[in-house]
Chains A and B, each alone.
Chain A
């Protein structure tokens, strides 16, 4: 399967898929290996969820990011994973925008746990860029699914 990456002449679509997936894997993994309370604190700073929903989000969201990222990297259920990732990105953008409008005193987004942090305008720009990439990918599924488990399993199934 990794041979296909070397042979590809036009690899930017699967590479974009893998890079977007990698971003989500790192983001989710960093939150998962630490105490969930750290991410709960980040969510609470954005002041948009009641306490109990914040708890649920703090426990579930990192797993969602992590698995969606893995599936995207491997190219598994690619079409649906891409849509889920785009929905997540829209949600993140909405949360950041409301924080900026309300001028909440958040200096670090908390997006990658404690690994690295960006101010809110930077993270909004990053989320928007990734969303646009993902959106373009969704129109080029044929190329995006190169070097993917979806393609590999489909080929094996038909063989």
Chain B
């Protein structure tokens, strides 16, 4: 029995399915993707650095903590070559993620985002196990000398939550599903295992 009709039907179905998948990807790709202004991001490094990294981070995510430690080391070794911007992407599965982002943003509004971020990351294994992480965050705030009055006002400021949610929405629009997700010179890289070779490659290119 000739298989030709069956092969033709198969090819037709494959072609149609490809059209559907790429059509959906194209449609999703042209959905408006608002980006936060740079005033809303938390950045360090030279603005003109050859390697620009935007990271969507959940401050309670252990993989993000490992990524932060790695980036801290690599940026210390190559201070002029790398710029890092953080955007909040708290995951629903991390009960303290949103609160951690709120505290971090309030620290940012007092010009102390990175000290607060570094302390959060270093102590993550401790506070992530707590039922209520508020005392741990308050302690860090006290240690880095955040103004308690301003902090209190900020923590109740709805614009902080709105900013975190907008950042999360931006990540979703870009296809972020998990953390840490990095955009290295615009290229999406998820997780430290993929980030390391990408950075090694780019740094080698810079040296040439």
Interface residues of A (CB under 8 A from B): 29, 32-35, 37-38, 40-41, 44-45, 51, 66-67, 70-71, 74, 76-77, 105, 107-108, 113-114, 149-150, 153-154, 156-158
Q: Would you call B9 and A41 a contact (CB within 8 A)?
A: no
A-B CB contact pairs (8 Å), 15 listed: A32-B21, A37-B181, A37-B188, A37-B190, A38-B190, A41-B190, A41-B193, A41-B194, A44-B191, A44-B193, A51-B197, A70-B13, A77-B10, A113-B177, A156-B5
Q: Is the interface of B mostly helix, strand, loop or mixed?
A: helix
A33 in contact with B28 (CB, 8 Å): yes
Is B154 part of the contact surface with A, judged by Cβ < 8 Å? Answer: no
Residues of A within 8 A of B208 (CB): none
A41 to chain B: closest residue by CB: B190
| A140: min CB distance to chain B, Å | 22
Docked-complex contact A35 and B175, CB < 8 angstroms = yes
B17: chain A residues within 8 A (beta carbon): 66-67, 70
The residue from B5, B10, B25 contacting A32, defined by CB atoms under 8 A apart? B25
- State whether A74 touches B13 (Cβ < 8 A): yes
Measured CA separation A108–B189 after assembly (Å):
19
A153–B194 alpha-carbon span in the complex (Å) = 46
- Whether A29 pairs with B21 at a CB distance below 8 angstroms is yes
